[in-house]
C-alpha cells in the first residue's frame, strides 16, 4: 500500500519578528527550520535598539531567508541615544538590511516621551526617504498624532511604509491606506474578540496586506499565551484567507507578492 506524501505548505513570509530577543537565545537555527517546515521561507527580524544591530545582522547573515531592519522603538526612545539619518543610511548598505525601524509612537506606556518619540520618528522617516527602504511603524494609543505626522511628512517627500501589527482604529487605517501604505496582520487578528480589527482588514485592499508574528509576542490560537515564533504566522494567514474569501495558498501568494513589492531587497 502506497503512502501519500505530505502536502507541501504554501510559502509565507513573516514580515516582522524579533529573533534576537532573549526568548530565542541559541535557538535561531531550530526556529528557522520549524518555520521552513511550516512554509515560512522568509522572515524579517527587527532590531529595536541600534546598539544591538550587530547581533541582529549576525542572525540574518547566518540564515538563508532571514532579513533584517533596524531602528529605535518608540518605547526605547528615552533610553537610547537619538539615531541619526546618516547612521541609518549607512546600515542600509548591507544586502540583508531591508527596512527602517521599527519606529513610531507609543502613548500606552511611554506617553511622557511623546516629543522625543516624534523627533526620533522624523529621523527614521528621512532615512526611509533617502534609502528608498520601507518605514516600519509601531503605533499604539496615538492614532491622531500618527495620522497627522504621516500625512504631513508624506506630503513633504514620499516614502513607503508598513503599519506593523495593526491594532489601531479605522481612521488611521484609512489614512495609511490613502497614503499608499500597507497594514500588517499579527496574531491579534486571530483572537476571538478581535472582531473590529478583522473588519478593518476585511475592508482594506487585499494588495496592501502583510502577515507577521511579532514573535516572541502575540501568538495566535492555538498557541495563544505561549511564546510566539515565525512558524505560527501560518495560523494568522488562515484567518486572513477566510476574511478575503481565499484559499490559504491564494492568500499566501498574495501576501508574499505584497511583501516583495514593499520590501524589494528581500524579494523572492
Please give the annotated binding residues, written as ranges: 16, 18, 102, 138, 164, 214
Question: Phi-psi category of 73—alpha, beta or left, where left has phi over 0 and alpha has psi -120 to 50?
Answer: beta
Query: For residues 161 and 94, what is the distance between their CA atoms, to the nearest angstrom?
Result: 20
Query: Three-class SS of residue 182?
Result: strand
Binding residues for a divalent metal cation: 16, 18, 102, 138, 164, 214
Asked if 40 contacts 230 with a C-beta cutoff of 8 angstroms, the reply is yes
Q: Residue for cell digits 533584517? A: 68
Asked if 29 contacts 64 with a C-beta cutoff of 8 angstroms, the reply is no
Of 143, 193, 137, 133, nearest to 170 by C-alpha is 143
Query: For residues 210 and 261, what is the distance between their CA atoms, to the nearest angstrom?
Result: 11
Quote the distance between the C-alpha of residue 169 and its chain's center. Answer: 18
Amino acid at each position: 500500500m502506497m503512502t501519500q506524501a505530505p502536502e507541501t505548505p504554501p510559502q509565507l513570509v513573516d514580515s516582522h519578528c524579533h529573533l534576537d530577543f532573549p526568548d530565542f537565545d541559541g535557538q535561531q537555527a531550530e526556529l528557522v527550520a520549524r518555520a521552513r517546515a511550516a512554509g515560512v521561507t522568509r522572515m524579517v527580524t527587527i532590531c529595536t535598539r541600534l546598539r544591538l544591530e550587530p547581533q541582529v545582522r549576525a542572525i540574518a547573515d547566518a540564515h538563508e531567508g532571514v532579513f533584517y531592519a533596524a531602528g529605535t522603538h518608540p518605547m526605547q526612545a528615552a533610553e537610547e541615544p537619538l539615531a541619526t539619518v546618516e547612521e541609518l543610511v549607512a546600515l542600509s548598505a548591507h544586502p540583508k538590511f531591508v527596512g527602517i525601524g521599527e519606529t513610531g509612537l507609543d502613548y500606552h506606556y511611554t506617553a511622557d516621551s511623546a516629543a522625543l518619540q516624534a523627533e526620533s520618528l522624523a529621523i527614521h522617516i528621512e532615512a526611509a526617504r533617502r534609502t528608498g527602504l520601507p518605514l516600519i511603524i509601531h503605533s499604539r494609543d496615538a492614532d491622531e498624532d500618527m495620522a497627522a505626522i504621516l500625512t504631513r511628512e508624506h506630503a513633504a517627500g514620499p516614502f513607503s511604509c508598513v503599519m506593523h501589527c495593526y491594532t489601531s482604529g479605522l481612521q488611521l487605517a484609512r489614512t495609511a491606506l490613502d497614503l499608499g501604505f500597507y497594514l500588517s496582520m499579527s496574531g491579534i487578528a486571530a483572537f476571538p474578540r478581535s472582531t473590529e480589527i478583522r473588519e478593518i482588514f476585511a475592508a482594506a485592499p487585499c494588495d496592501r496586506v502583510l502577515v507577521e508574528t511579532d514573535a516572541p509576542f502575540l501568538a495566535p490560537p492555538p498557541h495563544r499565551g505561549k511564546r510566539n515564533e515565525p512558524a505560527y504566522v501560518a495560523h494568522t494567514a488562515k484567518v486572513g484567507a477566510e476574511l478575503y474569501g481565499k484559499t490559504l495558498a491564494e492568500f499566501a501568494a498574495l501576501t508574499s507578492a505584497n511583501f516583495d513589492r514593499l520590501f524589494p531587497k528581500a524579494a523572492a
